[in-house]
Amino acid sequence: MTDPSLRIAAAPDTPPCAPPTPDDTGATWTVTRYADVRAALLDPALGVPRARSGPPGTLAWLRATVARFSGPERHPPRRAATLTVLAGLDPDQLAREAARLTVAELDRRAGRPDVPARLARDVPLRVLAVRLGLADPAAAVPAVAVVAAAYQPGADPAAVRRADDAVADLVANCPAGPDESTAHRIGLLVQACDAIAGLIDAATRHARVLPAAVSTRDLLGEVLRLDPPVRATRRVATVAAEVAGWPIPAGAVLLLRFDAANRDPAVFTDPDRFTPGRPALTFGVGAHGCPGDRHALALAAGVVDVLRDRGPHAGAPPRPESARPTGPQGARR
Q: Is the pLDDT of residue 9 over 60?
A: yes
Report whether 120 contacts 197 (CB < 8 A): yes
Query: Can you give the pLDDT at residue 324?
Result: 31
Query: Can you give the pLDDT at residue 330?
Result: 33
Query: Can you give the pLDDT at residue 312?
Result: 59
What pTM was estimated for this model as a whole? 0.90
When pLDDT is averaged across residues 227-237 and rounded to a whole number, the result is 96
Report helix, strand or coil for 30.
Answer: strand
**Residues making up the chain, counted from first to last:** 333
When pLDDT is averaged across residues 104-119 and rounded to a whole number, the result is 78
Report helix, strand or coil for 286.
Answer: helix
- pLDDT tier at 317, thresholds 50, 70, 90: very low
DSSP string over 189-224? HHHHHHHHHHHHHHHHHHHTTS-TTS-HHHHHHHHH
pLDDT in tens, 299-309: 999 999 999 99
When pLDDT is averaged across residues 194-204 and rounded to a whole number, the result is 96
Taking phi first (over 0 means left), then psi (-120 to 50 degrees means alpha), and beta for anything else, what does residue 109 get?
alpha
Residue 209's Cβ-count burial label (10 Å; 0-12, 13-18, 19+) is exposed
Backbone angles phi and psi of 157, in degrees to 5: -55, -35
- Residue 333 CA to residue 322 CA, distance in Å, equals 22
- Residue 247: beta bridge partners? 242
Name the DSSP letter for residue 133: T
- Fold for 21-318, please state it: Cytochrome p450 (1.10.630)
Query: Can you give the pLDDT at residue 113?
Result: 59
In terms of pLDDT, which residue wins out, 117 or 185?
185
- pLDDT tier at 118, thresholds 50, 70, 90: confident
pLDDT in tens, 55-106: 999 999 999 999 999 989 999 999 999 999 999 999 999 999 999 999 999 9
Torsion of CA 56, 154, 256, 244, to 10 degrees: -100
For the chain, give every domain's residue range. 21-318
